[in-house]
Structure 1
Amino acid sequence: MEENKKEYEKAIAYIRSLIIKRKITIGSRIPSERKIAETLSISRNSTREALKRLENMGLIDSQQGRGNYLSGNITQSFSNAIEMMLILHQTDAADICQFRRCIEKTVYDLAYKKREENKYLFKMAKLLELFPTADLERQIKIDEEIHYLLVRATRNTLLIAMMDSISAVYRQWVGTVLRHASPDIMKQLHNAHITIYKSLMRGNPEEGIQAIDQHYDIIDHMSLTIHA
């Protein structure tokens, strides 16, 4: 058992070395199970175990009949882990919302520091113009896109990956919440978005942080009302 463990770890280390040396990049085909086993003088079962673990981590994409490809889809792996925590009651929607609120304040702070000539903030302004005349489903989508653009305005790949992972789970829940929202509630959320955007442009970060809290306070209140 211990020997087998060492063998599959050897295969994982080998694939990692190929990535570090840039012999394979995202989208590239990973050497076959047989090739890895022969190169490392290990069993194919151990190689298969290594590839399965990397697939579960979101690092590779296994395509039947075509082989394994480097995908780097770590975000999906993290989302799956959060979903499993929800299923096992190890966390809940309130925890996720609280976590997202805290992280989004960090996102805002970094986006503020990088606000000059930021194409994502320009796109945010366009969405804000569309919101008032959109129907409810489109407004929910615009809400999602605004937060999507805000995190990309940080230009920080780790923050983007983290927020995307949380959002994949969070949006399922918040979409249900917002479908119960009145036009007045949606207007309040829109005003919070406007304040976030304008505070970035005017150089008033305190106002922006307050608007983020206002936004999540509305979501929290709506959630409690729905589940009361």
Structure 2
Amino acid sequence: MEKSYEKVVDFVQKQILDGVYGTGDKLPSEREMALQLNVSRTSVREGIRILEQMGALSCQQGSGNYITGNFENTLIRVMTLMFAVEGTSYREISEFRFALEYQALSLSVHHATEEQIEEMEYHMSMLETAQEENVRSKHDKRIHYLVVEASHNNYLIVNFLALTQVMDRYVKDMRVRILKDEKNREGLMQTHRDLIKAVKDKNVQLGQEALNRHFVYIYNYLDS
């Protein structure tokens, strides 16, 4: 038997899917929804609380409840629990990341803006000149994020952001450990140069080859 608060969740979900509500739209008041769905206002509040936790709603005190699309935190929680409960391996997480970046690259070579390319080049120059590894790591991550962002595909971007959070939590200092072998340093640096050049020159093959090389370093580390 469907619980009362589930009627609220299902109702809002259906309204969104049917195009009745979109991002930024305000939901009816709790009283109106309670009357419409024949449930208590307590059930309405519980349903709204669940939708807010999912990232579908933004509840603004004194103003009302609005449709939003902030699902990154929800994805982080889900991925973190999957990792912990299902025993997801580091390699599986890296393979998922590779799949996301590989697809993002094929889109970013067509959709990257001049500003995004310039920002990639800036972070590349900082990566090459920074003296501290924590600074280099920051610019390294930013380059990868910009490639995904340049795909202009929100599903890829949100999943990548969530996945990055999980990897940062569970696969700490991967870059440092990879670079313990000095001969990896220049090779890894070159993969980033080629990745940016691929986006700039709209060369999918060059970018795919760079990503393949980049993830060989990661897989070698994970398998060691």
Q: Is this a same-fold pair by TM over 0.5? A: yes
Equivalent residue letter for 2:76? S
Number of positions where the alignment pairs a residue of Structure 1 with one of Structure 2: 219
Q: CA deviation at 1:204?
A: 3.1
For residues 32-76 of structure 1, give each alpha carbon's deviation from its aligned partner in whole angstroms, at most 9, with x where no partner exists: 544532443312343233223313322234578987554422122
Q: Which residue of 38, 42, 46 corresponds with 1:41?
A: 38
- 2:223 aligns with 224
Q: Which moved more, 1:66-75 or 1:88-97?
A: 66-75
- 2:126 aligns with 130
5 Å-filtered alignment, 1:201-216, equals 201-216=200-215
5 Å-filtered alignment, 1:14-163, equals 14-16=11-13, 17=15, 20-22=19-21, 25-26=23-24, 33-61=30-58, 70-115=67-112, 117-134=113-130, 135-163=132-160
Q: CA deviation at 1:98?
A: 0.7
Q: CA deviation at 1:154?
A: 0.9
Q: CA deviation at 1:155?
A: 1.1
Q: CA deviation at 1:13?
A: 4.3
Q: CA deviation at 1:129?
A: 0.8
Equivalent position SS for 2:86: coil
CA distance in 1, matches of 2:217, 2:190: 12
TM-score (norm 2): 0.82
Q: Structure 2 vs 1, CA of residues 151 and 32 (structure 1 numbering), >3 Å: closer, same or farther?
A: same
Equivalent residue letter for 1:220? Y
Q: CA deviation at 1:138?
A: 0.9
Mapped contact 1:58–1:76 kept (Cα < 8 A): yes
Equivalent residue letter for 1:187? E
CA distance in 1, matches of 2:127, 2:5: 52
User: How large is the RMSD of aligned CA atoms in angstroms?
Assistant: 2.8
Q: CA deviation at 1:170?
A: 2.1
Q: Structure 2 vs 1, CA of residues 64 and 87 (structure 1 numbering), >3 Å: closer, same or farther?
A: farther
The percent of aligned pairs where both chains have the same amino acid is 27
TM-score (norm 1): 0.81
CA distance in 2, matches of 1:63, 1:184: 54
Equivalent residue letter for 1:222? Y
Q: Structure 2 vs 1, CA of residues 120 and 171 (structure 1 numbering), >3 Å: closer, same or farther?
A: farther
